[in-house]
Amino acid sequence: MALFTLTVFGLIAVINAEEIKYNPCCSNPCENFGICNRIAWTEKYTCDCYGTGYYGVNCQTPTWSKWISNLLRPSPFTVQAITTNGKIIWKIVNKIKFVHSYFMKFILKIRALSPEWPEPHNTAADYITWDGYTNKTYWGRTLPAVPEDCPTPFGVVGPKEYPDVYKLVEEVFTRTEFKPCPRGTSLSLPLYGQHFTHQGFKSVPSDDTLTWGQHTLDMSHLYGETLGKQLALRSMKGGKMKTQIINGEEYPPNMKDCPGVNMDYPENVIEEYRFAMGHPFFALLPSLMYYSTLWLREHNRVCDVLAEHHPQWDDERLFQTTRLIILGETLKVTVEEYVQHISGMDLKLTFEPDLMHDSSMRWASGRLHVEFNTLYHWHNMIPNYFYIGNKTYTLEETFFNMSSLLDNGMNVFTTSMANQVAGRGAGGRNMAKSLHKVAYEVIKMNRKLRLQPFNRYRELFRLPPYKTFEELTGETKLAKVLSKFYGGEINAVEYFVGIMVEKRYKAKMWGITLTESIGNYALRSVFSNVIGSPQYWKESTFGGKIGFDMVKTASLKDIACRNIKGCPEFKFEIAEAVTEDTDKGMIYNDIESDGTEGTGQHKTEL
């Protein structure tokens, strides 16, 4: 009898298991990004629509205010069209202060106030927790993770398992020939982006859910993320940082002169070439040391200016005030030159934090999102060769080797990077094989964190989901390869993969999805910085009018000219834009078909 009873209950359990196919939230039934909650082990669910502006069983019906808001708010395509056409009109707008401020404020209100914060989602758990809010070692999330108990890694669509990451990168990312950026973007831009973002993007290699950064732009890549490192890097005289002279120029000090500062140098790098900088990763490339050197020199120059105007100030006050000025200068040039080029807008972007002082901006309260970190891996823009002075360096020769900077000097390095075209960012198949490891790690991280598919992020940024692989890539060959990996299901394409292979959008550097999302993430990160708050954005913060003016008038061209002998030209765009079939006169014919070997002329002992 007992055996019969167990058998009956076993059959009932099997039947129930078959009826409950999967977590209903896997299919994202809640529209407009309402939060789906499964009811026990059943196929029933509820949608939490609070704060979305929608109501109904699936958050499908807009409230009247939301309907009007949607009606009045221009689509991303409309904003792009308006701000990238009519150069003559925009030149006039840019010169009329109050008119320009109106448009700049409008752009900021639709860009810098989203994604929402405080972030309800983070990498601490799949649900809201207090620790997830208070513990800033966790990344924020823009969208919640795909539930663990779904039939596929993508929810309910696509293959049962993720495609092999190595085969995926090999067939979708590999450069067969160098493709230059159609915008004529110089190599200075992606290298600036790499140095700038590492003050915030600081992953913990052993745990993809964690970061050791402070979720803000703080110049820690120059000053160090701890007080101990900061003190080790400071000279403790006149507010200045330690430096050393090499070939008649100032550079960061050696590690032996900065006890407690650790860098990521391999064992074969001799002590003489072990430089101490604020971020351990800056040991990797000469371009990282270049930007560190540029800001280091600017810091010490500003200290001299402040000391002249405030002879009563001690070392500590000179250092602290200078740091605020350097941060302000960085944010200004990042918006007005770096983000300006990326945006492709004819509207002149300006760093005027006071435009947001009457808004709902929450200064220094947000955290960096793992999706923002993900999309900032632009390694397809890095060429196989660097042409610096009269020498050619392979990409591999620059790893942990600063000779291309030290042997040529800051002037030549600046000019060379400003006059070499970067790689094409959009469309895939333009990444050097030596950088494939980066793509592997990013995709693996996204999978461990169960990021939602690419099309879901399209919807989030008010873009229509792609319906076919051809529509995504703009061509058929790569579309067939992607279809093979994702089982013919466009809604299964992974976030990072979609970002990298999306076809270029008109006059932009990348596809429309990356352009839209980075516009929101970047402007929010910059304009929510505490230095732009009403309590900080004033003359007294920067040592008076002299310091405030330095921030308000900063430009990369002037910073380079003031701190590098010969006043080299610093620029993010080469004079004339290129097309997919031109090479701007650069020497690319020495790149082999697999993109990994060539005729590099420079060898080093490091």
Q: Which residue in 279, 332, 347, 355 sits closest to 526, CA to CA?
A: 332
Peptide bond before residue 118 is cis, with ω within 30 degrees of 0: yes
3-state secondary structure 295-334: HHHHHHHHHHHHHHHCCCCCHHHHHHHHHHHHHHHHHHHH
Please, are residues 523 and 111 in contact by the beta-carbon 8 Å criterion? yes
Q: What's the start-to-end Cα distance of the chain, in Å?
A: 79
Query: Rounded distance, CA 294 to CA 329, Å?
Result: 12
Query: Rounded distance, CA 447 to CA 441, Å?
Result: 10
Q: Can 195 be counted among the known catalytic residues?
A: no
Query: Rounded distance, CA 372 to CA 140, Å?
Result: 9
Q: Of these residues, 195, 198, 341, 379, which one is catalytic?
A: 198
- Beta strands in 252-306, from DSSP E residues, in sequence order: none
Query: Rounded distance, CA 479 to CA 470, Å?
Result: 5
Q: How far is CA 12 from CA 18, 22, 109, in A?
A: 10, 17, 56
Q: Can 376 be counted among the known catalytic residues?
A: yes
Please, are residues 380 and 502 in contact by the beta-carbon 8 Å criterion? no
Please, are residues 306 and 322 in contact by the beta-carbon 8 Å criterion? yes
Burial class (CB in 10 A: 0-12, 13-18, 19+), 103: middle
Burial class (CB in 10 A: 0-12, 13-18, 19+), 385: buried
Peptide bond before residue 286 is cis, with ω within 30 degrees of 0: no
Please, are residues 595 and 432 in contact by the beta-carbon 8 Å criterion? yes
The total of other beta-carbon atoms located within 10 Å of residue 5's CB is 9
Given phi > 0 = left and psi -120 to 50 = alpha, else beta, which region is 231?
alpha
Q: How many residues does the chain have?
A: 606
> Which residues contact residue 379 at a Cβ distance below 8 angstroms, ignoring those fewer than 6 apart?
431, 432, 435, 438, 439
Burial class (CB in 10 A: 0-12, 13-18, 19+), 53: middle
> Which residues contact residue 448 at a Cβ distance below 8 angstroms, ignoring those fewer than 6 apart?
208
Query: Rounded distance, CA 174 to CA 594, Å?
Result: 8
Given phi > 0 = left and psi -120 to 50 = alpha, else beta, which region is 146?
beta
Q: Which residue in 242, 154, 256, 191 sits closest to 489, CA to CA?
A: 154
Crossing angle of helices 409-418/286-309, nearest 10°?
A: 120
Please, are residues 280 and 262 in contact by the beta-carbon 8 Å criterion? yes
Q: Of these residues, 376, 466, 495, 505, which one is catalytic?
A: 376
List active site positions: 198, 376
